[in-house]
Amino acid sequence: MITSKKILVCVTGGIAVYKAVALVSKLTQAGAEVKVMMTPSAMEFVTPLSFQAMSRNDVYYDTFDEKNSQVIAHIDLADWADLVLVAPATANTIAKLANGIADNMVTTTLLATKADVWIAPAMNVHMYDHPAVKRNIEQLSKDGYSFIEPSEGFLACGYVGKGRLEEPEKIVQLVETHFSPKELPLKGKKVVVTAGPTREKLDPVRFLTNFSSGKMGYAMAEAASKLGAETILISGPVAIKAPQNVKLVNVESTEDMFLAVLNHFETASIVVKTAAVADYKAKEIHPQKMKKKEGEVTIALEKTTDILSELGKRKTSQILVGFAAETNDVVHYAKGKLKKKNADYIIANDVTEEGSGFGTETNAVTLVGKNDIDIHFPQTSKKELALQLFRMIIELEKDETL
Ligand code: PMT
């Protein structure tokens, strides 16, 4: 399964480095192409020669030792890898990465890579339990890094507890599962996701908008794409990067978003309206900047097109999923919107809950749908939640259109 997969193993300085030698050996035996990078402290435990012999490749440890003048080694390796394993990962390297510090070849490469990075911590039980280490691990999880939890047992420091580098066999197994062909339940389907806020101009320098960061919608698009769908992401103005393998359509106003969605609606299997669409727009956009005046100013507003309702009227076989940002009686209002907008599902989002709603990395929602479906999804990262929501909708629809 991992034949020809390019795996960069970053070894940092802890006693578990000896296990990393076995890990590199097993990955190579399983057919992977393995390259190893070491921190200076890792080399206090084992010499690069051991890793060179096991990987049958040069070992990298000096950012300034450019072996090939055609490339810059740490960028080249960062781009080369299909997967980066940091094993063992010390508290020190975890802290550096969590804070964006790049002071050796390993940390510099970790900041430069776009590949998935898995971190396998190994340290003393009390160090692993330290609030600073926990904080850094939490930050890195939010940043999208994955962790291979240490196992429990005898530690080199004499303690018994959690902190042992996971066994090399187990890590190889995880890598094999990662590269095994995935179930792609949305293969051959087109999914349209809207995300972010819309902007309604008042004059050339002012507009009405809201606090949507786009994170939930972008996570929905990423999940759809990971599950195999051809994914169209129609986004209002946000400051985040689009996930890989999705077609991004940038829009500004509600009307732009409506037209962009209509463009793809007929051929879509699922439409997910995560966007926080402005409900009102100025009746008249001032062609020049409005001048400050004494006293109150009244701006006449009118309703924007309710895109979800319009799609509800037009839908044929499409599964229509709306979101509902609410501050009270969340499920009750979501059920009302489900009916009123003729949607198949509404994902009710209590935006007053800490760690949920606008701008946060995490979210908790309730999926309401036809046949009185009412399923709560507890707080987790928006990326994980998006996958859970799609999987649930696919399960609920498996006897129908999907
Ligand atoms: O972007 P983030 O910072 O990650 O925040 C995520 C989120 C809070 C924006 C998201 O989880 C969410 O709840 N999105 C829906 C917000 C919203 O506008 O809710 P609403 O109750 O006003 O609208 C209900 C549904 O109708 C939504 O699917 C909305 O896209 C749609 N709508 C609303 C108004 C309108 N004119 N046209 C629409 O299509």
SS3 83: strand
Mutation test of ligand 1: which of 211, 305, 308 has the most ligand atoms closer than 8 Å to its C-beta? 308
157 pLDDT more than 80: no
Domains of the chain by residue range: 6-179, 190-287+296-396
pLDDT mean over 308-319? 97
Atom of ligand 1 nearest to the CA of 337: 24
Per-residue pLDDT reduced to its tens digit, 223-258: 999 999 999 999 999 999 999 899 999 999 999 999
- Give me ligand 1 centre to Cα 319, in Å: 17
Distance between CA atoms of residues 283 and 120, nearest Å = 57
Question: What is the percent of the chain where pLDDT is above 90?
Answer: 85
Atom of ligand 1 nearest to the CA of 303: 36
Atom of ligand 1 nearest to the CA of 307: 39
Q: Label residue 1 by pLDDT band (50, 70, 90).
A: low
- Whether the CB-CB separation of 38 and 65 falls below 8 Å is answered with no
Same fold, 6-179 and 190-287+296-396: yes
- Give me ligand 1 centre to Cα 220, in Å: 13
Atom of ligand 1 nearest to the CA of 211: 3
Distance between CA atoms of residues 13 and 96, nearest Å = 14
- Give me ligand 1 centre to Cα 276, in Å: 3
SS3 329: coil
Q: What class has domain 190-287+296-396?
A: alpha beta
Q: For 388, phi and psi rounded to 5 degrees?
A: -60, -40
Joined together, the tokens standing for residue 135 give: 């904080």
Please give the pLDDT value at position 401. 63
SS3 118: strand
* 215 in contact with ligand 1, CB cutoff 6 A: yes
State yes or no: is 10 an active-site residue.
no
- Give me ligand 1 centre to Cα 273, in Å: 7
75 pLDDT more than 90: yes
- Does pTM top 0.95 for this prediction? no
Q: What class has domain 6-179?
A: alpha beta
Joined together, the tokens standing for residue 341 give: 């907008």
259 pLDDT more than 90: yes
* 276 in contact with ligand 1, CB cutoff 6 A: yes
Q: Which of 157, 184, 262, 290 is catalytic?
A: 157
56 pLDDT more than 90: yes
Rounded to 5°, angle at Cα 138 from 135 and 141: 150
400 pLDDT more than 80: no
Per-residue pLDDT reduced to its tens digit, 107-129: 999 999 999 999 999 999 999 99
